[in-house]
Amino acid sequence: MRNSNIFKLLWSCLFIIFSLPYTSAQVQNDAMNQARAAGRLGNYAKALELTKRAHNQDPKDMDIKEFLGKCYLELGQLKNARVTLLDVLRKSPERLDSRYYLINVEARDKRYASAIGFVNEILERKPYDKELWMRKISFYKEMKNFPEMEKATIRLMQIYPNDAKIKEVYNAHVKDNAGKAIKKYDMLSAAAEYEAALKISKNDPGIYLGLINAYINLNDYNAALTASNKGLTVLPNNEAIFLKKISVLEAQTNYSEAISLLEQRMARRDNPKYRQLISYLIAESAKKQVNTDPYILYSKLYARNPGDKQAYDYILKMALERGNYNDAQELLSKGLKATPNSKELLVKQALVYEETKQPEKAFGIYQRLHKLFPNDTDIYEKYVAYAFNDAKQNLEDTDVKEALRGFQIASTHPEYRTDAKRKMFALYEMEKKYPEAIQVIDELIAENPRSEQYLLQKITLLSNMEAHDRAMAEAKIFYQQFPNEARFPDLLEEISVKFIKILNVQERYEEIIPVVDFLLQVDPRNKQAYSYGIGARVGLYKIDDALSFSKKAVQLYPDEKIFRLKNADLYAQLKDYGQASEVLKALKKDYPYNDTIRNAWLEAMYRDAKMQAANARQARERQIYEEILMDRPAEIPASISLAKLHLTNKEYEEALRILDRGMERNPLNEELVYYKGLAYEYLGDYPKAIAYQEAYRPLDSRYQEHKEHIALLKSKLYKNQVSFGYTNVKADSVAFNTSVANLEYAFSPNKNHSIVGRMNYAGRPSGVGIQGEVDYYLTLKNKSKSNFLFSGGLATKYFQKVKASVSYFQPLKGNWQTEVGIRYAKLTNDSNFLTGIVGVEKTLNTTWLNLRAFYMNDSKESYYNILAQARFYMLNERDYIVGMMSVGNAPEDTRLDFQLQNFLSFTNTLVGTGYFHHLSYKSRIGLLGTWANYQTNTNRYINQYNVSVSFLTKF
């Protein structure tokens, strides 16, 4: 029973070990967590190795592939990084991190134009990212593309108008460029530089002065005057700009305005310099005879008579032609005050705003004109053009609401309709205004029914809206119309995988299968489709279908590790562990350093062994454990299981060999130590058995039992044994009532030899009989542990005068043992009596069974007897119950063999039972009772009752 409990405990432990979740290859989260951790520590070489492993397991996972590109970048493998990241964007174009990585790749490779392209793509989504703008500016600088650098800087300054550092850098750059241009007498370039600078910094008087001088050198006094006016608008008290304006007015012979401006300044503060200038200008005005100018004459006329339309029209026309936009604006304001809805004046005012670079105000005028004159096609053209450009500017400024309003206006014009609607669609999608986005894309499709791009965009939009059923329906329609569209398979994979992941979470496996089937119809070699198709069938518990599907994947990709792993897993789920282990064995050969595969193979082998054990296929079970140990010599459970098989079959030496090999690599493993002690116990080598079993520490609940077993083993080391016995016989016939006593001493110098001396005593009214016996037990040192029993005895009376016997015992596998023996006895009547013995015994856990057949002959007649015995051990294995029965025409009772001749030829039956109790592991007492019935003639029977008590002790 003790062995049974130990076996149950061990099987429970093995069951827990074998029941750990079976690992498939889609697991790759562990590899990526380790890779990212290595990356955070700067160990990108290790991160690259781990990420490659994860990517090989799931090449369609764009997160893994994106991190793979980052690893290549960090390790300076720019070409690999570029190819990897571009492939990520091709399959997943919405990713930003890949673009950031590509910017660094191209910058390090000095491919600045390409880097700028990726910067622009990100800025479309993150238009206010200061660092990206700064990088873009630096790339233009490296390319020496200063115009674009200035544009970018201007844009950045518009976003961050108060960033002093940006202003300082830009102004320095502009002034330097302007200075170089002036040295080359390239005044146009110098003016352009100053104009650009004013878009960024309007408070630097040096820029205004430089710009004014540049225009003066170009003889463009109107532009110089405009520049000075701008400067004074921002810096009204700057004397240098003011004086420069006076000099420009002088060059234009506009002495009156120059004098008027000086007089206004003089009115605020007296300045001798101004008085001197006024005198000088009056003198110059006289010289030029300014009063002969028709413009001045009409101006004076209009001043005297504001209702003179001819004078008004003339001076307005001349102001516009001469570029006197301040005068023109003043005149227009007066005219519009009188006639606010005049188309002519409003058009001219819009022209002034256009010439003075005020597009917002010009757009406002055209909005008003379109409202007043909705049927005027020229006004409509201008209005739409301004609306479209204003929308683009608002888009750059991330004013989505105004941008949409402008694009809606532009979409009414045939020239702008398609472009405007495309931008509206992009904005609606970005803002997640899906109903509006659907309406716009449907309109684009209606206008361009054969445009694959719009149809693909609609499918993508429906997927983003999580309207996955509609997206799949549109995808099927698209495939029917455009079966050869190269972009469709990748898009279909993206939306299908997204849909499948949601269905997986919701456990709607039945709906996954048609999605997978369509994906395979479009792309028959799609790995993800096979992977999800297998998973869906498993989720539906259609393991056979999943296995069939998995086999197709393996046929397509015979070297694909993940499908082969799934194949093995499915075999395991079908409890075909043999086939699962074969698949994993082949994988293990291809990937000898993959611990996941090796562990999966090991688990499948253990499960196969467990199934073989349940089906009593011991040879196959043993073969499995041997194969495990060939691959993993240090595998403890396999070593223990194989050793237990050998112990069960009494192959103790082989069990020791297995356990020794296991302990070479695991010398401190307690279970190996315990089973090695058990093997020595079965071999009868009790000193070693004790040494090893004492080193084993069982569970607390089994500790007391373990201590008792050690005590039992130690008791087997005692070499001396003494026993006493007494048997009382009662029968129906007084002639057969008697008693027998015996005393026995046994000496066992070693496990192969034992000598027993025995003295039997019988007393009757006619005297006393004494018998002396000697037994010798010999165990051969062969592999099967065969043993012999030699016995001899002499007696005075009542007992057999002479007796001698020899028996041969042969242990067999499965706890069987056979016996063949012969006995000789000289009876009290001097007749010779021979007995042949054939026996077999079997040990079943706590039960011992024995069956013996006796053939006897006294030279006159032959006799027989068949005896069956059993011992039933108690839970403590120290006490046991004996049961026996026999039948024959001669008795077989070693305790009463002196009665043999009295009962020859009598048919007899016997039953008996007894109880033996160990007082300790040294001492035992026992009680045995038998009831025999002898048929002395046809109608006469004799009953005999034997009661025996015994005591045994070792020392």
Q: Domain holding 97: CATH number?
A: 1.25.40.10
Q: What is the CATH number of the domain that holds 845?
A: 2.40.160.40
User: Which is higher by pLDDT, 705 or 724?
Assistant: 724
DSSP string for residues in 300-368: HHHHH-TT-HHHHHHHHHHHHHHT-HHHHHHHHHHHHHHSTT-HHHHHHHHHHHHHTT-HHHHHHHHHH
Residue 280 has pLDDT above 90, yes or no: no
pLDDT on residue 516: 92
CA dist 38 and 163 (Å) reads: 38
Confidence of residue 5 (pLDDT cuts 50, 70, 90): low
33-51 pLDDT, tens digit each: 888 888 888 888 888 889 9
My answer on whether 338 and 417 are in the same domain is no
pLDDT on residue 200: 66
What does the pLDDT average to over 550-565?
88
pLDDT on residue 515: 93
Number of domains forming the structure of the chain = 4
Residue 191 lies in a domain: no
My answer on whether 774 and 911 are in the same domain is yes
Residue 688 lies in a domain: no
Mean per-residue pLDDT of the chain: 84
Q: What percent of the chain has pLDDT over 90?
A: 22
85-114 pLDDT, tens digit each: 999 988 888 888 899 999 999 999 999 988
My answer on whether 344 and 440 are in the same domain is no
CA dist 730 and 910 (Å) reads: 14
Residue 281 lies in a domain: no
What does the pLDDT average to over 764-780?
90
**If DSSP codes are grouped into helix, strand and coil, which group holds residue 872?**
strand
948 has which bridge partners? 727, 928
Residue 910 lies in a domain: yes
Cβ–Cβ under 8 Å, residues 919 and 881: no
User: Which is higher by pLDDT, 348 or 947?
Assistant: 947
The conformation of residue 506, written as its DSSP 8-state character, comes to T
CA dist 128 and 133 (Å) reads: 8
My answer on whether 360 and 414 are in the same domain is no
pLDDT on residue 8: 47
My answer on whether 876 and 758 are in the same domain is yes
The conformation of residue 22, written as its DSSP 8-state character, comes to P
The conformation of residue 732, written as its DSSP 8-state character, comes to S
Which domain-ending residue is among 314, 340, 374?
374
My answer on whether 303 and 435 are in the same domain is no
Confidence of residue 896 (pLDDT cuts 50, 70, 90): low
- Least trusted range by pLDDT, from 487-496, 623-632, 707-716: 707-716
My answer on whether 361 and 380 are in the same domain is no
572-609 pLDDT, tens digit each: 888 888 888 888 888 888 888 888 888 888 888 888 88
Residue 517 lies in a domain: no
Confidence of residue 723 (pLDDT cuts 50, 70, 90): very high
Residue 407 lies in a domain: yes
My answer on whether 365 and 381 are in the same domain is no
202-217 pLDDT, tens digit each: 788 888 888 888 888 8
Domain that holds residue 345: 293-374
Which domain-ending residue is among 109, 135, 150?
109
pLDDT on residue 384: 86
252-256, 704-708, 789-793, range with greatest mean pLDDT: 789-793
User: Which is higher by pLDDT, 849 or 694?
Assistant: 849
- Least trusted range by pLDDT, from 178-182, 243-247, 315-319, 855-859: 178-182
443-447, 668-672, 853-857, range with greatest mean pLDDT: 853-857
261's CB contacts (< 8 A; 6+ apart) are: 242, 245, 246, 249
Residue 492 lies in a domain: no
Residue 627 lies in a domain: no
My answer on whether 423 and 335 are in the same domain is no
My answer on whether 347 and 397 are in the same domain is no
State if pTM tops 0.95: no
Confidence of residue 2 (pLDDT cuts 50, 70, 90): very low
98-155 pLDDT, tens digit each: 999 999 999 999 999 889 988 998 888 888 888 888 888 889 888 888 778 878 887 7
Q: What percent of the chain has pLDDT over 70?
A: 91
My answer on whether 436 and 324 are in the same domain is no
pLDDT on residue 734: 61
Q: What is the CATH number of the domain that holds 396?
A: 1.25.40
Cβ–Cβ under 8 Å, residues 193 and 209: no
Which domain-ending residue is among 404, 423, 445?
445
pLDDT on residue 603: 86
My answer on whether 383 and 352 are in the same domain is no
- Phi, psi (rounded to 5 degrees) for 162: -105, 10
**Quick one: CA dihedral 561, 563, 569, 572, positive or negative?**
negative
